[in-house]
Amino acid sequence: MKPPLDPEKETEFLQRIQAGILRDPNALPLGLALLNFEIRFLDLDEDIRVLRTEDCFYINRQSPFLNKPDIEGTVTFLLLHEICHVLFFHDQRRRNRDPELWVLATDYMINGLLDEFRSIFDPRMVPYQTRWIFSGENPAHYNPEFKNLLEEEIYRLLCESANVDVSPPRDLSVEEMGALEMGRRRFIGRPYLVYSRIRYKKKDIEQNRLEIPSPEVDGMGEGKGNFSKEKEEEEGVSRDDVFGQSPIYPRSDPDKKQQEARESALQLSRHLFREVLRGHGSLHIKAVMAMLCGPTTDWEAILRDSLRLALDRSAEIAWGRPRVTWLANIGRIPYLPAFTDEFVPGTIVISIDESASVDDSDLARVLAVLNEVRDRYKHILVIKHDTEIRWQQEFKTIGQSDLGELRIRRHYGGTSHRQVFDTITDYTRCRSEEPVSVYLAFTDMESDIPDCQDLLPPWLPRIYLSTGKTVPKGLRGKVINIQ
């Protein structure tokens, strides 16, 4: 296939695209991030648009995707797409997710975002047209159904109804590896291509991705050893020199310094990108703004581990003999906790601060986590309150049919936990054979918790699911931010 550009003018062509992105104030942060990567053209027989390595973007001249009416706009779109993958930490955020579905979900999210940005980018400086990008031969992945969703949300939808068919991976040839400068000295693991076909809502979606395995995954320990030996020879020191009594120390690695500088520049670009988006009222842009404020934590995993730990500890607590001093202190609990090997599953108490704008979906996710540890407790006591308790009910388990009742708002404004803590203390005193195992609170922390937290039994594990941004001073217990 004939290259879409004159090879002698490719460098000038790429420089013109980068200059245009840098001259648009709204696209400037993306242009600055692109400066941290080399951009080159190469020839690959595979149907690959762009290969992204740790410091370079390689655009495939042979890709049918470049046969668009506007080649400059097409390459501009490709570069913006790839740098968004970098700025949004998509490689690091994949974790144990299905790689094919995660790659597709991130592509859908970025392409929907770039479609939204078309209205705020200067078309003279950033000239891509999504009507060409999302249509024709070999179009970019785009689905208006996902336009206002983030990657995790899209991935969840794909997992629910998509079928994945993965073809055997194909190693890059020696010639291709040489052209890409991807020897062991840079990546150690041998890169290969993975082809997949994903069927979603009766539509087949074909894609491919480059995978660069680590030595531990592909068994290339020998290659890793050779690499270390070569590095030591270059620096003129041996391992004995480093760990023995010799005053010779290895020189600093210039590649590491360059990597650190590049990461700092990318973080700056990410911060600038967030500032640029301020003031644009799109629903999608607001969602991206929230994501750019920092990588979101998996609060469900934190809650799951915290509950298991708290419930396992509560299993060690039984009730001792009544205290004689209780007669002179009626407001206190009449029993002292004592440690025993006997397992006594108790009750989980959940309080919902209705003035904290608790989202129904978050509540449903918490209940799903509770179902996973169902063998560690007997009952769930739910308390809904603002300044006073407006509703409470005990459940053996909370199913989907109970969510409707929990969604009903009964608040009148304001927040206080004093009555909630008194109620939990009274409930604990009346259930000596079945103790309270853990207290779980939904709240925005705009309450009197530090002033009245001493009303709770001192041994009771406390987990606060916070919808706010601040934590009061002197608070006792674990705080998990779910925003």
pLDDT digits (tens, 9 = 90+) for 437-480: 889 998 888 889 999 999 998 888 899 988 777 788 888 888 88
What element of type H or E holds 287?
Answer: helix 283-292
* pLDDT for res 247: 42
Confidence of residue 244 (pLDDT cuts 50, 70, 90): very low
Q: Between the CA of residue 255 and those of 14, 186, 231, what are the distances in Å? A: 25, 10, 12
Percent share of the chain, pLDDT over 90: 23
Dump pLDDT digits (tens) for 226-242.
434 444 444 444 434 33
Q: What is d(CA 441, CA 460) in angstroms, rounded to the nearest whole number?
A: 13
Entry field: residues in the chain? 483
Say yes or no to pLDDT of 85 above 90.
yes
* pLDDT for res 295: 53
* pLDDT for res 77: 96
* pLDDT for res 267: 83
Q: What is d(CA 168, CA 294) in angstroms, rounded to the nearest whole number?
A: 36
* pLDDT for res 1: 47
Between 265 and 286, the more confident residue is 265
* pLDDT for res 327: 54
Dump pLDDT digits (tens) for 393-427.
888 777 666 767 776 776 666 788 999 999 999 88
Which DSSP category does 378 fall into?
Answer: E
* pLDDT for res 105: 93
- Each domain of the chain, given as residue ranges in start order, spans 7-161+252-292, 299-481
Confidence of residue 174 (pLDDT cuts 50, 70, 90): low
* pLDDT for res 422: 93
* pLDDT for res 306: 83
Say yes or no to pLDDT of 337 above 70.
no
Question: Mean pLDDT, the chain, as a whole number?
Answer: 78
Bridge partner list, 443: 466
Dump pLDDT digits (tens) for 5-52.
777 788 899 999 999 999 999 999 999 999 999 999 888 777 788 888
Q: Which residue has the tokens 């060690």?
A: 316
CA 174 to chain centroid: 36
* pLDDT for res 27: 93
Count CA atoms within 13 Å of residue 82 on its CB side. Answer: 24
Confidence of residue 318 (pLDDT cuts 50, 70, 90): very low
* pLDDT for res 103: 93
Compute, in degrees rounded to 10, the torsion defined by CA atoms 388, 443, 437, 379.
Answer: 70
* pLDDT for res 376: 79
Domain 299-481, classified CATH 3.90.1070, yes or no: no
Q: What is d(CA 194, CA 51) in angstroms, rounded to the nearest whole number?
A: 13
Q: What is d(CA 57, CA 87) in angstroms, rounded to the nearest whole number?
A: 14
Contact 416, 447 (CB under 8 A): yes
Between 234 and 316, the more confident residue is 316
Contact 452, 438 (CB under 8 A): no
Which region holds residue 138: left if phi is over 0, alpha if psi is between -120 and 50, else beta? left
Q: What is d(CA 407, CA 359) in angstroms, rounded to the nearest whole number?
A: 9
Which DSSP category does 214 fall into?
Answer: -
Q: What is d(CA 424, CA 414) in angstroms, rounded to the nearest whole number?
A: 20
Top mean-pLDDT range of 75-84, 131-140, 291-300, 304-313? 75-84
User: What are the structure tokens assigned to 12, written together?
Assistant: 């000038």
CB neighbours of 79 closer than 8 A, spacing ≥ 6?
Answer: 17, 18, 21, 34, 39, 57
Bridge partner list, 57: 39, 52
Contact 25, 35 (CB under 8 A): no
Which DSSP category does 161 fall into?
Answer: H
- In degrees and rounded to multiples of 5, residue 371 shows phi and psi of -65, -25
Dump pLDDT digits (tens) for 279-304.
787 777 877 877 777 555 567 778 88
